[in-house]
Homo-oligomer: A and B are copies of this chain.
Amino acid sequence: MKRRTFMAGAGALTSVSLPSKPKKYLVHHAIFWLKNPTSESDKNKLIEGLETLRAVSYIQELHVGALASTEKRDVVDTSWQVSEVMFFNNTQDQKSYQDHPIHQAFVKNYSHLWSKVLVYDAQDV
């Protein structure tokens, strides 16, 4: 009986298909407001600049994005133009990225394009 119970338990376990939790990251999200918000050229230049950051090995994953055309709702901020979402293994790596020459060069060469940048750093729980 014990064995039968165990087998039933094991069967039940394998039939459960819960979505898996991804690896835990430090998610670094920077949102950019362009000085010329309607300039496609400036938007593309900033995107080009953000793509250079892909060479920083501390970054586990990089998503360079632009304002999406999702439904306009009160809670959705649609006043910005360009976004970077980066995954780091930990806060130390995020600090190392901040100090990295490629990131410093990005700030030096592209910061004239934006009027404001806002950062949200979230630690996966």
Tell me the A residues contacting B by CB distance below 8 Å: 18-19, 21-22, 25-31, 47, 54-55, 57, 59, 61-71, 73, 75-77, 80, 83, 85, 91, 94-95, 98, 117-125
A55 to B102, CA, bound (A): 39
* A122 B67 Cβ-Cβ under 8 A: yes
Q: Which of B26, B54, B61, B118 interacts with A68 by CB under 8 Å?
A: B26
Sample 26 A-B pairs with CB under 8 A, ordered by A number.
A19-B54, A19-B55, A19-B57, A22-B63, A26-B70, A27-B65, A27-B85, A29-B29, A29-B120, A64-B124, A64-B125, A65-B122, A66-B122, A68-B122, A68-B123, A70-B91, A71-B95, A71-B98, A73-B119, A75-B118, A75-B119, A76-B119, A76-B121, A80-B120, A83-B120, A83-B122
